[in-house]
Amino acid sequence: MRYDPAMSPDLTRNAVPADASAIAALHMRSWLAAYGAMAPAEAIRLLTEDVRRDRWTAMLGEPKARQVVRVIEADGAIVAVGMACAPTEPVFGDRGEVRHLYVDPDLRRSGLGRRMMAELAGVIAGWGYAGLALAVVAQNKPALAFYAALGGREIGRFIDPGPVWTSDNAALAWDDLPGLIS
pLDDT at 7: 44
Does the pLDDT at position 6 exceed 60? no
For 173, other C-beta atoms within 10 Å of its C-beta total: 19
DSSP H helices, the chain, are 20-35, 41-46, 49-61, 112-126, 141-149, 177-181
176 — alpha (psi -120 to 50), left (phi > 0) or beta? beta
Cα(178)–Cα(113) distance, integer angstroms: 17
How far is Cα 156 from Cα 95, in angstroms, rounded to an integer? 14
Quote the mean pLDDT of the chain.
92
Please give the average per-residue pLDDT across 136-165, as a whole number: 94
| % of the chain exceeding 70 in pLDDT | 95
Fold of the 10-181 domain: Aminopeptidase (3.40.630)
| Dist. CA 56–CA 104, nearest whole Å | 17
Burial 103-116 (b: 16+ CB within 10 A, else e): bbeebbebebbebb
| Spans of all domains in the chain | 10-181
Predicted confidence at residue 152, as pLDDT, reads 97
- Give 163's pLDDT tier (boundaries 50, 70, 90): confident
Q: Does 4 have pLDDT greater than 60?
A: no
Q: What is the pLDDT of residue 5?
A: 53
CA torsion, points 129, 171, 30, 147, in degrees to nearest 10?
A: 80
- Range 166-180 average pLDDT: 95
Q: Convert the pLDDT of each residue in 120-146 to its tens digit.
A: 999 999 999 999 999 999 999 999 999
pLDDT at 151 > cutoff 50: yes
pTM of the predicted structure, to 2 decimals: 0.90
Phi, psi of 118, rounded to the nearest 5 degrees? -65, -40
CA–CA dist 156, 4 (Å, integer)? 36
